[in-house]
Amino acid sequence: MKYLKISIEYVINFILVHLIIGPIYLNSTFGKTTPDEKFFHLLIPVGGVNKDVFISYFLKGILPTIIIALIIIIIRRKKPKKYFYIIFTIISLSFATYSLDIITALKNNIYTSNFIKDNYVDPANTNITFTEKKNLIYIYLESMEVTYSSKEYGGAKKENLIPNLTNYANDNINFSNTELLGGALYLEGSGFTAASMLSQTTGIPLKVNYSKYGKIDYQKYYKGISLGDILYNNGYDNYIIMGSDSTYGARDILFGNHHYQVSDVNTAIKEGKMNKDDIVWWGYSDKDLFKYAKEDLTNISKNNKPFNYTMLTVDTHFEDGYLNKSCKKPYKDQYSNVIKCNDYMLNEFINWIKEQDFYKNTVIILVGDHISMDQTFFDNIDKNYIRTTYNTFINVNTNKTINNKNRQFTNLDLFPTTISAIGGKIEGERLGLGTNLFSTKKTLTEEYKYKYVREELNKRSEFYNSLFYHN
């Protein structure tokens, strides 16, 4: 009975301590993520997560909790306090509530908004025609920010870590929030990879339906029209390749349910390109991603059909990224070396594409999926600097003047902009909540202002829940 009492007391201590240590770890590692992001990752399967994430959580989250909980029991045994657990419980719950933005989540679920309903343009009811059908190579660049460029070009670093990407942006079409190199503004619901992919292919943010918490069927978590559906209906073949496990973040569902052929680390193992023992980082490195992509594109380009070949890099994922053995190490910190090496490998891959016969009829779109979640890499930049995700459109046919500087836009706008870049004509120039940046039409953040759009999108939307969720 004595040991049972001690065990119960230790479990209580562990829980109360972890309500403090856990949020501290999450915020110091991932930053102040939104409530929707936290709940989304709690609801989805964790298969495919890099084991380093679990190791880090154990060492910095679980282990300190175990030690502190044990120390509290020892002290309590020597000097018991009558109201200790009442006070400790209040402190722990209050700290967790504040740190995890529980109040914000509750507030956003109480206040409703018709903003999405009033501004959403359904692709299914929009006339989209193609005057030409250029191939599309769409590359999501993990955590790729304009910030990595040097100050003279619009970045925030003393030395340019992405010289090749900077040159591509300057020599082609880069949509920017400034006069210099710039990009898309941060938006809740598109600030992590799965959410960004949803935003860029559908024009809507990822919002959790709290009223159906725990009952979301992620096999059907998005049922609207996506980029893949539109291109498929216009004769395109859609492919997506990633070096990580596509089940993480339900990316296999997001793309597989919308006419994409999905290839990931499991596919590479199944096809005999690698063994389970070859897995590094989140799966296989970007060096192998570009190698497999060359093989795929060589074969796909022979099919005499327009294609959409989408890629997701992974080496630049926080913390510190994955440094391939072939990469040089000009900097003291690993993350800088990883970013610079990724820039080099990407440049080599794009140069290869330009040498292929299919390039003359192909648009290449390079986009950062979200700003980096690394919490120390940006300590020395100007506090007033606005961090944005990178974008460049290569080999786009346009005869008109493009308003691509000093724009206020988000990942939502990349959906219709992509269709326009490869030859699509969109009635009204809007799809989802996104605006075609090649047009003269204002984006929602330009029309309603950035702060207001963020506030409204954070509120509960019954229209969103009814349109985009199967329950």
DSSP string, 159-222: S-S-HHHHHHHHHSB---SSSSS--BPP-TTSSSHHHHHHHHHHS------GGGTT---GGGS-
Whether residue 100 is found in the same domain as residue 177:
no
Whether residue 170 is found in the same domain as residue 248:
yes
Whether residue 161 is found in the same domain as residue 92:
no
pLDDT of residue 125: 92
Whether residue 275 is found in the same domain as residue 392:
yes
- pLDDT tens digits for range 365-377: 999 999 998 878 9
What backbone torsions phi and psi does residue 276 show, to the nearest 5 degrees? Answer: -60, -30
Whether residue 423 is found in the same domain as residue 362:
yes
CATH of the domain at 316: 3.40.720.10
CA dihedral over 451, 158, 340, 57, signed as positive or negative: negative
Cα→Cα distances 61→3, 30, 69, 138, Å? 26, 13, 12, 37
DSSP state of 384: T
pLDDT of residue 105: 77
Domain count of the chain? 2
- pLDDT tens digits for range 110-163: 889 999 999 999 999 999 999 999 999 999 999 999 999 999 999 999 999 999
Question: Is residue 329 in a domain?
Answer: yes
Whether residue 421 is found in the same domain as residue 446:
yes
> Looking at the predicted structure, is the pLDDT value of residue 284 above 60?
yes
Q: Among 67, 82, 110, where does a domain finish?
A: 110
> Looking at the predicted structure, is the pLDDT value of residue 100 above 90?
no
Q: Among 110, 131, 162, where does a domain finish?
A: 110
Q: Which two tokens stand for residue 31?
A: 């930053």
Distance between CA atoms of 432 and 204, rounded to whole angstroms?
A: 6
> Looking at the predicted structure, is the pLDDT value of residue 216 above 60?
no
> Looking at the predicted structure, is the pLDDT value of residue 471 above 60?
no
Question: Is residue 321 in a domain?
Answer: yes
What backbone torsions phi and psi does residue 388 show, to the nearest 5 degrees? Answer: -135, 160
Q: Among 55, 84, 110, where does a domain finish?
A: 110
E strand intervals along 73-174: 128-130, 135-141
Average pLDDT of the residues of the chain: 88
DSSP state of 129: E
> Looking at the predicted structure, is the pLDDT value of residue 221 above 60?
no
Distance between CA atoms of 103 and 458, rounded to whole angstroms?
A: 13
Whether residue 337 is found in the same domain as residue 445:
yes
As beta bridge partners, residue 150 has 157
Question: Is residue 261 in a domain?
Answer: yes
Choose the weakest-confidence range: 96-105, 237-246, 419-428: 96-105
Distance between CA atoms of 256 and 83, rounded to whole angstroms?
A: 55
Instruction: Tell me the average pLDDT across 389-414.
Output: 92
Question: Is residue 355 in a domain?
Answer: yes
Among residues 263, 238, 357, the alpha carbon closest in space to that of 302 is found at 357
Whether residue 136 is found in the same domain as residue 100:
no
- Domain ranges, residue 252: 121-468
Question: Is residue 461 in a domain?
Answer: yes
Among residues 363, 456, 458, the alpha carbon closest in space to that of 101 is found at 458
% pLDDT > 70, the chain:
90
Instruction: Label the pairing between strands 237-242 and 128-130.
Output: unpaired
Distance between CA atoms of 418 and 166, rounded to whole angstroms?
A: 20
What backbone torsions phi and psi does residue 222 show, to the nearest 5 degrees? Answer: -140, 120
Question: Is residue 116 in a domain?
Answer: no
Choose the weakest-confidence range: 100-109, 171-180, 391-400, 403-412: 100-109
* Confidence class for position 50, pLDDT limits 50, 70, 90: low
What backbone torsions phi and psi does residue 367 show, to the nearest 5 degrees? Answer: -140, 140
Instruction: Tell me the average pLDDT across 204-210.
Output: 80
> Looking at the predicted structure, is the pLDDT value of residue 306 above 90?
yes
Strand order in the sheet with 307-312: 260-263, 237-242, 307-312, 135-141, 362-368, 391-394
Residue whose structure tokens are 């110091």: 28
* Confidence class for position 204, pLDDT limits 50, 70, 90: very high
> Looking at the predicted structure, is the pLDDT value of residue 337 above 70?
yes
pLDDT of residue 32: 63
- N-terminal to C-terminal alpha carbon distance within the chain: 46
DSSP state of 47: T
Whether residue 423 is found in the same domain as residue 445:
yes
pLDDT of residue 237: 97
pLDDT of residue 146: 97
pLDDT of residue 133: 95
> Looking at the predicted structure, is the pLDDT value of residue 19 above 80?
yes
Helix/strand/coil (H, E, C) string of 336-360? HHHHHHHHHHHHHHHHHHHCCHHHH
Distance between CA atoms of 25 and 50, rounded to whole angstroms?
A: 17
- Higher-pLDDT residue of 257 and 27 is 257
Residue 24 neighbours by CB under 8 Å, 6+ apart? 99
Residue whose structure tokens are 């192909």: 362
Whether residue 154 is found in the same domain as residue 93:
no
> Residue 182, CB half-sphere, CA atoms under 13 Å: how many?
18
* Confidence class for position 69, pLDDT limits 50, 70, 90: confident
Q: Exposure string (b/e) for 11-48, b if CB count within 10 Å is 16 or more?
A: ebbbebbbbbbbbebbeebbeebbbbbbbbbeebeeeb
pLDDT of residue 88: 86
Helix/strand/coil (H, E, C) string of 425-460? EEHHHEEECEECCCCCCCCHHHHHCHHHHHHHHHCE
Question: Is residue 115 in a domain?
Answer: no
Q: Which two tokens stand for residue 313?
A: 């890099």
What backbone torsions phi and psi does residue 179 show, to the nearest 5 degrees? Answer: -75, -25
> Looking at the predicted structure, is the pLDDT value of residue 231 above 60?
yes
Question: Is residue 290 in a domain?
Answer: yes
Whether residue 144 is found in the same domain as residue 176:
yes
What pTM was computed for the model? 0.89
E strand intervals along 294-378: 307-312, 362-368
Distance between CA atoms of 15 and 65, rounded to whole angstroms?
A: 9
Whether residue 7 is found in the same domain as residue 77:
yes
- pLDDT tens digits for range 110-124: 889 999 999 999 999
CB 389 within 8 A of CB 369: yes
Among residues 200, 176, 210, the alpha carbon closest in space to that of 433 is found at 200
* Confidence class for position 215, pLDDT limits 50, 70, 90: very low
